[in-house]
Structure 1
Amino acid sequence: MAGNHGENQPQALTQDPQNAVKAFESLDTDAKLALFYYIYEKMGDSVTPAAPAATEPELAPRLLGDFYNLSKDEQLAIMRQIVNCEDTDYSRAYGALKENNQLMVWYAWAQAMGDTVVGMPQNHQKSQSLSDTLSQIEKLEFEEQISMLRTIASDMGYTDVKPIETQAQTGKTASL
């Protein structure tokens, strides 16, 4: 699979954020979407403004423009495709963004939920695993939360771009 999933585990993450990433990865698709909603509901005002100069909304016209004109069912299908790293136009548009812009997309969608973006179902019940994962994230330091969120955001979407192999992977030293 050429999707991003599982390829972006930054070595800078300490054990607790790594555990939160693993807990997130163990959730099903809809639980992952619900978790993003709850994260932004509780922490949204601090998550995206953490690096406002690092986001470039104009790079995501399909995700932050066209998306809002789709039906709620189409929006939900697109969100699921992105979470599942499916090879679709919207998932490719998302996969082409840097982590800060990916977080900005989720933030913008969370801000519009129930209005121009499909909302959380009225009868949604938080599973124990979703509650546990949210609790893990809330216990992290702010910088750890941001790093963990960047990691999970970057593991979504679809891209054909492959990471550059490191010296440790190739066994070759750089030459000038």
Structure 2
Amino acid sequence: MTYTTSNTANELLQAFQGLDADQQLALFYFIYKETGKSITPAAPAASTVSPEIAQGLFDQVAQLSQEEQLQLQRDLIAHKNTELTREYGALSDTTKLLFWYFLAEGMDSGSIIPMPSNYKLSNEAQQLFGKIQGLEFQQQITLFRDFVSPMGVDSTVS
């Protein structure tokens, strides 16, 4: 699925992808914490979402040790070829977004490795966070899809 993006959105996407994996994960979690109340109804209700599929992948991740859970998230960002990153790669963009929402919810509930309580975003990530907060809701959702879409491994591409 293709989305129309502006230069601003492209710049924000490039800035996000320019962060190291742990900063990307942290920023995405802070975004969830800040905007989760507005994203919550959007992700599960989106017409192309497959909640059962996102839940199934989440359930597999929840069964891993905390170290393996964190490594999987890093592997998704790094496009490391594993069974779970290929399963993720086969999801629609909106289902991928829902999967990340489930991960954030799992972090809050304790079923997924939590963010360290004293974790601080880098200056670059903090500035990017501020720019994202200034976007309209639909622009944020589109940008978040753009964040999660290329993660994982697309097994149909060699």
Report Cα offsets for 1:122-152 as digits up to 9, x if no partner: 3312110110111111111111111111111
Q: Say whether residues 1:91 and 2:80 are aligned partners.
A: no
- 2:134 is matched with 139
The structure that has the greater radius of gyration is 1
1:126 corresponding residue in structure 2: 121
Please name the residue that 2:38 is paired with. Answer: 46
Stretches of structure 2 lacking an aligned partner (at least 5 in a row): none
Q: 1:60 Cα deviation (Å)?
A: 3.5
Normalized against structure 1, the TM-score is what?
0.81
Q: Secondary structure at the match of 1:111?
A: helix
Structure 1 CA distance for aligned equivalents of residues 19 and 46 of structure 2: 31
Match of 1:113 among 107, 113, 116: 107
Contact kept in structure 1, 2:9 and 2:143, CA below 8 Å: yes
Q: Normalising to structure 2: TM-score of the pair?
A: 0.90
Task: Check if 1:63 corresponds to 2:46.
Answer: no
**Larger RCO (CA under 8 A, 6+ residues apart):** 1
Structure 1 residue runs of 5 or longer lacking an equivalent are 1-7, 163-176
Is contact 1:48–1:103 with CA below 8 Å preserved after alignment? no
Equivalences, count: 154
CA deviations over 1:83-142 (Å, ceiling 9, x no partner): 111101111111100011000011011011051000001331211011011111111111
Question: Is residue 103 from structure 1 mapped to residue 87 from structure 2 by the alignment?
Answer: no
Considering fraction of residues, name the structure with more helix.
2
In the TM superposition, what whole-angstrom CA distance separates every residue of 1:38-88 from its partner, at most 9, and x where no partner exists? 010011122242251432122235522121121110100000001111101
The share of aligned pairs that are identical, in percent, is: 35
